[in-house]
Amino acid sequence: MNKRLFAIGDIHGCFDSLIELIENKIQLQENDKLILLGDYIDRGDKSKEVVDFIMELQKKGFDVVPLMGNHEAMLLDAYENEKNISLWIQNGGDKTLKSFEISSVKAIESKYIKFFKDLRFYYSFEDCLFVHAGFNDNVLNPFTDYYSLLWKCKESYKNPLLANKTIIHGHNPIRISKCEERVLSKFDVINIDTGCVYKDKEGFGRLTAYDCNAQRILFV
Of residues 196, 192, 187, 193, the one with CA closest to residue 211? 192
Cα-based angle 50, 55, 58 (whole degrees, multiple of 5): 130
Residue 161 has a pLDDT of 96
Q: How far apart are CA 220 and CA 202, in angstroms?
A: 14
Q: How far apart are CA 210 and CA 129, in angstroms?
A: 13
Of residues 6, 37, 66, the one with CA closest to residue 216? 6
- Containing domain of residue 43, as a range? 5-219
Residue 213 has a pLDDT of 95
Residue 65 has a pLDDT of 98
Residue 30 has a pLDDT of 93
Residue 2 has a pLDDT of 66
| CATH number of the domain that residue 152 is part of | 3.60.21.10
Domains contained in the chain, number = 1
Q: How far apart are CA 88 and CA 42, in angstroms?
A: 9
Cβ atoms of residues 77 and 113 within 8 Å:
no
Per-residue pLDDT of the chain (220 residues; tens, 9 = 90+): 468 999 999 999 999 999 999 999 999 999 999 999 999 999 999 999 999 999 999 999 999 999 999 999 999 999 999 999 999 999 999 999 999 999 999 999 999 999 999 999 999 999 999 999 999 999 999 999 999 999 999 999 999 999 999 999 999 999 999 999 999 999 999 999 999 999 999 999 999 999 999 999 999 9
Question: In the sheet where 33-36 sits, what is the strand order?
Answer: 63-66, 33-36, 5-8, 208-211, 216-219
pTM to 2 decimal places: 0.97
